Each structure stands twice: as structure tokens, then as C-alpha cells.
A = this chain, B = another copy of it.
Amino acid sequence: MSDTPIEFFFDFNSPYGYIAAHKIGDVATQHGRTVDWKPFLLGAVFKVTGAQPLPLVPMKGDYARHDFARSARFHGVTYNPPESFPFSPTAASRAVYWAKRDGRAGEMTLALYSAALGEGQDIASPEAVVAVSGAAGFDTDAVAAGIQDPAIKEELKKVTDNAIAREIFGSPFMIVDGEAFWGADRLDMVDRWLETGGW
């Protein structure tokens, strides 16, 4: 049985990423796996693909806004996005890579995602990210320094470049033993793939 972590690519603006972030940990644990949390900058990917954020796409936008909330309720996840949306996910993403050094990337991801998409908080600024991190039990001085650390900044850039190179074009995007799954609505397939190794 493989113990390769599940790569979990997401953008902090993505409601479906937010929903999946609440589920992927349990799915992984049930199959003896861990999650490799990989926030990335979907805006940089969209520059390559020419895609637009879902809410801005004609017709699809209205449906998407309705489906975000309905999907969250379906999965039992509180959904309440901020007024300023989409927002810059850079500071929040860097905080996750900082937390990853201590194996707390999942904890940081859920704290920031829940503040933003569950409680409608603005987490665009480094100051806001530090405040949310502090409330979640992280050392605020260390988080503040981590967000400005050149190595952390480089890590986010590298993951985003790597995502583009691997044609990871959406959020959430989950890689299980090399197999790619896009969307919170693929969690059932991820579960089956982990169980059976494919079909």
C-alpha cells in the first residue's frame, strides 16, 4: 500500500477548494495517507489558459454563485464569503508554506480558509493573515516574519510554476499516485482511487 501523500492544490479564493479542504484530510486518513497542502496562485494559471474566475463567466457566474452556497450546505460546511472577493491569496498562501515547516500546513489552511470563506473576513493583507494565525494559536511574530521570508516567497512561486507545467488549471486539484482529479465533486473518485488503485 502506497503512503505517498495526496497533493492538494488550491487557491484561497476557490469556494470548491474550501469545501474540499474540509474533506480531504478525512479521506486521506481513512486510507493511511497524508495531505500535502499546496496553495497556489490560480490567477497566474488563468493568465496562461485565458480562463476567468467562475463568477465572471457569462451565465456560469450566476449558477456558480448559487452552487457555491448549495454545495457548501450539501457538504455541511459553513459558507460566508467576504465582500471583497476575489482577494489576493498571496499572504495567506505564504503563511501555509511557513506553517508547513512545522507540519502545520493543514491547520493553517483551514484557519485561513474558514476565516475568509466561512466568516467573511478579509485576509488579503499580511496583517490580516497574521491576526487570523494568532487566533488559531500560531506565533504571530513568527508568521509575520515567515510571510516576508524570501525562501517562502520563492516556494509559492515555484509551486505555482510547477502547477502550470503540470497543467493544473483549477482549484481544488488533487493528485493521487500521479492521477489528477479536479473539483470538490471528485472527492468520491479520490476515495475510490485510494481504495482500489484505479479502475
Task: State whether A58 touches B63 (Cβ < 8 A).
Answer: no
Chain B residue at minimum C-beta to C-beta distance from A167: B59
Q: Report B-chain residues with C-beta under 8 Å of the C-beta of A167.
A: 59, 62-63
Task: Kindly list chain B residues whose C-beta atoms are within 8 Å of the C-beta of A60.
Answer: 49, 51, 169-170
Residue tally, chain A, CB below 8 Å to B: 30
Q: Mark A88-127 against chain B: 1 for CB-CB distance below 8 A, else 0.
A: 0000000000000000000000000000000000000000
Contacting residue for A48 out of B48, B50, B58, B183, CB 8 A: B58
Chain B residues in 8 Å Cβ range of A59: 45, 48-49, 167-169
* Interchain CA distance A74-B192 in the complex, whole Å: 9
